[in-house]
Structure 1
């Protein structure tokens, strides 16, 4: 006997989440929970090592790089960067138009590339009209668009998580867990320490 809308509305959030997880098809071909946890730990350790290595490297560069440098391949560097940015923006537009979840990573990456573009445009501009143009472009176009491209998909990701019962509607996105234990609802998963 199917549940009525009234019965579903009367359920607690935990009961609805349990129902969603019980009804959701189990994806085929997923690695075991043990494998997923091992990958997560190795990737986390790799990021910690990268952060630890980048701190002294940044200090070293701050003390040794020349304040003036003539760059090779200047045109190719900037045109190549703009082609990458153009590609990511086009992929974001296509994914958004077609309502595909690919919009999450492409929009986020596009936003980050726009922030990088604004930073390097401003930092490498000559004083005067060139710097004014770079600042105006950064403040009026690149940074606002980057905010939209990063914040919009994050809000949509939160909405999807709420809609699928993964988080409570008052939860913040940064508290949203990755739902690995929910992929295997028939197995008992020990709580994380």
Structure 2
């Protein structure tokens, strides 16, 4: 059986999603649902465990850390962080230039690193000109670039999902599911 471009264009997004899923399954590219579901549950459990464990740790740190601390390896810490930021930004630029999907995690990670950089610059600055420079840098450069690097890939992922018929146009990014509907037989396409 062969479908023409016109027949495919005439399909509804739901019909295209079903066809795409069937083609992927026919090629054996999808691991068994049981395996995927087990991995998903294990990762969710691990993530929740870490989040819960961080609560008492954060309270402990808030009550025990000194207000002033002389740090060892101060230069290596900041230079190492900036090297990691340069590597991630370069990887993002290369992936974006070559139109590779790895741009999603590299851009997102670069944005998060910029938010962390802004936070630590502001929080560790001395009052006065040093603090003012950190705040200006954060507000004018680091945080706006972080917003672009985080929001851009999210919008692009949504566009790819719509373009490939995985979701309806207008679906919000936080409603775009992982494209494996066989894992959620009781769910219809996501609501807007």
TM-score, structure 2 normalization: 0.89
Q: 1:35 to 1:24 in 2, by over 3 A?
A: closer
Q: 1:131 to 1:35 in 2, by over 3 A?
A: same
| Corresponding residue for residue 72 of structure 2 | 72
Secondary structure at the aligned position of 1:169 is classed as: coil
| Corresponding residue for residue 133 of structure 1 | 133
Q: 1:190 to 1:23 in 2, by over 3 A?
A: closer
| Corresponding residue for residue 151 of structure 2 | 151
| Corresponding residue for residue 185 of structure 1 | none
| Corresponding residue for residue 63 of structure 2 | 63
> What is the deviation of 1:28?
5.4
Q: Which runs of 5+ in 1 are unaligned?
A: 183-187
Task: Find out whether 1:19 has 2:14 as its counterpart.
Answer: no
Q: 1:107 and 1:190 mapped to 2: Cα distance?
A: 33
Residues 141-180 of structure 1 mapped to structure 2, 5 A cutoff: 141-180=141-180
> What is the deviation of 1:190?
4.4
| Corresponding residue for residue 91 of structure 1 | 91
**Contact 2:13/2:166 (CA < 8 Å) preserved in 1?**
no
| Corresponding residue for residue 191 of structure 1 | 186
| Corresponding residue for residue 121 of structure 1 | 121
Secondary structure at the aligned position of 2:114 is classed as: helix
TM-score, structure 1 normalization: 0.88
Secondary structure at the aligned position of 1:68 is classed as: coil
Residues 43-58 of structure 1 mapped to structure 2, 5 A cutoff: 43-58=43-58
| Corresponding residue for residue 3 of structure 1 | 4
| Corresponding residue for residue 41 of structure 2 | 41
Q: 1:2 to 1:8 in 2, by over 3 A?
A: closer
Q: 1:8 to 1:29 in 2, by over 3 A?
A: closer
Q: 1:4 and 1:92 mapped to 2: Cα distance?
A: 34
Q: 1:16 and 1:137 mapped to 2: Cα distance?
A: 47
Cα RMSD (Å) of the superposition?
2.1
Secondary structure at the aligned position of 2:154 is classed as: helix
Q: 1:28 to 1:90 in 2, by over 3 A?
A: farther
Q: 2:139 and 2:65 mapped to 1: Cα distance?
A: 28
> What is the deviation of 1:29?
6.3
**Contact 2:24/2:30 (CA < 8 Å) preserved in 1?**
no
Residues 71-108 of structure 1 show CA distances to partners (whole Å, capped at 9, x for unaligned) of 00000000000000000000000000001001000000
